[in-house]
Amino acid sequence: MARWPWQRATGARPVGKARRTREVVTAEGLRLTLTLAPRGSRVAALLIDLVMMFMIMLATGVVLSRLSHGAFAGVRKPQNAGLQGLIETLQVLWILALFLVPNVWFVWFELGARGATPGKRLLGIRIAARPARDGTAARLKAEAVIARNLLRNIELFMPVVFIAGALNAGSDTTLAGWAALVWFGIFALFPFLNRDALRGGDVIAGTWVVEVPRHRLGDAMSLGQGAQGISTLTGAQYRFSEAELAIYGEYELQVLERVLRDTSQAQAKALQDVSQAICAKIGWTSGAGDERAFLEAYYTQLRARLETGMRLGKRKADKHDGG
């Protein structure tokens, strides 16, 4: 059976965290590794989100209940009969809250720059687009986020509602309750039936849930004259404007540092590919053979900009982050 590029066999069967490691190719032509989030972390993140949603709905219900109680007390008085409209309005607001909180919560947060709900952020995971069949990394699109979360209603909320209804109704709906339980079980077990731990929504939307390790920017590289943006080959001095540096974030800085630290035979090609990608992005043209000086200068100045932003409480995670 044909495999996806990130599923190529490597001889020995991987174990532990290596089983969750996948390789993708960035737009700059670099091969990077991602680690899929463990199933336990995904379940824990979901439970955290559900608890938070429940607390919000409970608080909303308490507030609306108190307002309704006061309105009911006023309705008993003939001169305040018009408060009946207020009561109906409060009931409509409660119904809207029951609908909006579970349907908007996941979409709202996952459409953000971090691509994660509060539960996922606490567990250090986020959603990401699965790469194309050739292994090229893809950008997470809004329609994918919406699709994966709309399917959550079918996977989780609807069967849970049916099960709860069957339990409340007693023996008259036993068959419906068992059917809903089987329905829920199929979707609950789905992540255990594929090696990428994909749930139904991930399959439909083309998404992964990956780990996002929390870390500070590593120690700066020692680049000699490269730190001043001076080429040892041509003597050219590279200086970049704020707009040219604002395009990239911490993720791209780490990718660039990895390329500059690389000592393998493939480094020259990687330097050329990354240099061309950055030049195309910022509208520059670097001299042939001077790619290292160009990248060292860009690395140093981008790092300085990001560190200044951190001190001011501003962080830019990657090129897709508006921060």
Total domains in the fold of the chain: 2
Predicted TM-score of the model (pTM): 0.64
Contact call for residues 123 and 41 (beta carbons, < 8 A): yes
- Domain containing 134 equals 39-211
Do 52 and 121 fall into the same domain?
Answer: yes
Last residue in a domain, options 211, 233, 267: 211
The number of C-alpha atoms within 13 Å of 178 and in the hemisphere containing its C-beta is 5
Residues in the chain: 323
Query: d(Cα 258, Cα 221) in Å, to the nearest integer?
Result: 10
pLDDT tens, the chain, 323 aa long? 344 444 544 444 555 677 888 877 766 566 667 889 999 999 999 999 999 999 998 888 888 777 766 655 554 554 454 556 666 777 778 788 888 888 899 999 998 877 899 999 999 899 988 887 767 777 788 899 999 998 888 888 888 777 777 676 655 566 777 787 888 888 888 988 888 889 999 999 999 999 875 555 555 554 444 445 556 555 567 888 888 888 888 777 877 887 887 766 667 778 888 888 888 888 887 666 778 888 888 888 888 888 887 766 677 777 766 65
Specify the pLDDT at position 188. 86
Last residue in a domain, options 211, 243, 274: 211
Do 244 and 297 fall into the same domain?
Answer: yes
* Terminal Cα distance for the chain, rounded: 43
At residue 222, the 3 state secondary structure works out as coil
Specify the pLDDT at position 27. 64
Do 63 and 176 fall into the same domain?
Answer: yes
Do 282 and 175 fall into the same domain?
Answer: no
Do 100 and 200 fall into the same domain?
Answer: yes
In a domain? residue 25: no
**C-alpha radius of gyration, the chain, whole number:** 26
Say which residue the tokens 């680049």 belong to.
223
